Structure 1
Amino acid sequence: MEDGATIGLTELQQDAFTELVNIGVSRAAASLRQMIGTQVLLSVPSVEIVSRHSAARLIGEREAAPLVVVHQDFEGAFAGRALLIFPQENGRELVRAVAGEELSPEEVAALEDEALAETGNIILNGCLATMANMLQRTLTMSLPGILRGDGPRIFGTQAGETSAADALVLFLYIDFSVSERDIRGYLAMLMDLPSLENLRLLVDEFIARALGDLDA
């Protein structure tokens, strides 16, 4: 992919990063399962590196409904903004799964932002903290915030907004299964080119350690 070539991701790096994300998401699912006391399955079939405009177009092609987003900034060995993105109705399904089946539509609406922020915090924190730990680094996360809108608003590509030319998006499709509900979502990390390059180098070190363990 042309965007991926910008930071020179090899197939091995792509596989290693996908594995890191999957482990991070699995740990996040375990934390969420502890909180709500029911089975939670999350999977990340693929990871893509695209421009912000491409990310906005991709999600626009997949989702016609309004989107709800939990976002948190992170900084450390690599920095950026993490986004957990749901179609609006999928977000409400997640709130019902987390907060209780017996809630009325009005109660779901009242609890939506708080429940999504708490759930998003668990997933984003769990995923990124696990990835950083496996890369032998640490990250600092901000408090979660909620954003609603379409792809251009979420990824900062609306007319009049000036995004850095080298701003890229690690874009991941996620399958959720919570309380036997199928809930689709997306995980995205907005990062500038220096941060992505730092992440690529850390992934190289991770690969070298893994290959060293195999040779030992």
Structure 2
Amino acid sequence: MTSETVTLTELERDALTEIVNIGVSRAASSLRKMVGAHVLLSVPSIEVVSQRRAARLIGEREIAQLVAVRQDFSGPFSGRALLIFPEANSLALVRAVAGDELSAEELVEMEHEALAETGNVILNGCLGTMANMLQRSLSLTIPEIIKGDGAVLFDAWGQNGTDGLVLFLYIDFSVRQRDIRGYIAMIMNLPAITALSELLGEFITRVVGDDA
């Protein structure tokens, strides 16, 4: 299957951008309640790229080590969702979620649990909204915490050294009055992109009718 056969049409891309926007906005609202500060979001960027290109897109923005909450999702379309932070930001997020009065030792002890909880809330909120708007259901794995550079984080489908094409859906965010910034990314392989394209077609028909 070539990249041309799975590239989303402009209308499908617009529909996916709108759906993701709504999902991420709801997830950001949940994060705002957790940290007590406004969350600023970028407009989603959606591209079909190689895994290495996806890794470079993050690497161009962050030269430091990264921490990510990773959840795989499956259903009518499947893939991997990542909530990514520069490693230096992760403890700032833990402090914001768990309490500013914690000592440095307590922060380190709580890092894994707090990051997993935060990732679960945000990624579930985003994916749940997408599934609802597409009138389907998705199953998510338990959150995992991974650390490394972009190459480690985006080796989602790169078994046996392959570098397959993926749908790279990317949003960056920051928390006002906190030293917290990060990224939300979703990676889907070619069969998943094809399935998603069909669901987006159904969504467009429901919203604007058969003339779309």
The bucket for the TM-score relative to the shorter chain is: 0.7 to 0.9
Q: Distance in 1 between matches of 2:209 and 2:141?
A: 35
1:41 aligns with 2:39: yes
Q: Distance in 1 between matches of 2:175 and 2:211?
A: 34
Tell me the equivalent position of 2:197: 200
Shift in CA distance, 89/37, structure 1 to aligned 2, threshold 3 Å: closer
Q: Compute the displacement of 1:5 (Å).
A: 4.6
More deviation in 130-139 or 205-214?
A: 205-214
In 2, are the aligned partners of 1:177 and 1:183 still within 8 Å (CA)?
yes
Tell me the equivalent position of 2:183: 186
Tell me the equivalent position of 1:210: 207
Q: Distance in 1 between matches of 2:109 and 2:54?
A: 30
Tell me the equivalent position of 1:90: 89
Shift in CA distance, 41/155, structure 1 to aligned 2, threshold 3 Å: same
Normalising by structure 2, report the TM-score.
Answer: 0.88
Tell me the equivalent position of 1:52: 51
Normalising by structure 1, report the TM-score.
Answer: 0.86
Q: Distance in 1 between matches of 2:162 and 2:60?
A: 24
Q: Distance in 2 between matches of 1:175 and 1:76?
A: 27
Tell me the equivalent position of 1:102: 101
Q: Distance in 2 between matches of 1:176 and 1:169?
A: 23
CA shift digits 1:89-109 (9 cap, x unpaired): 122221111111122222221
In 1, are the aligned partners of 2:169 and 2:185 still within 8 Å (CA)?
yes
SS at match of 2:209: helix
Tell me the equivalent position of 1:172: 170
Identity, in percent, stands at 54
In 2, are the aligned partners of 1:22 and 1:43 still within 8 Å (CA)?
no
Q: Distance in 2 between matches of 1:161 and 1:76?
A: 21
In 2, are the aligned partners of 1:27 and 1:126 still within 8 Å (CA)?
yes
- Structure 1 residues without counterparts, runs of 5 or longer: none
Query: Runs in 1 of length 4+ with deviation above 6 angstroms?
Result: none
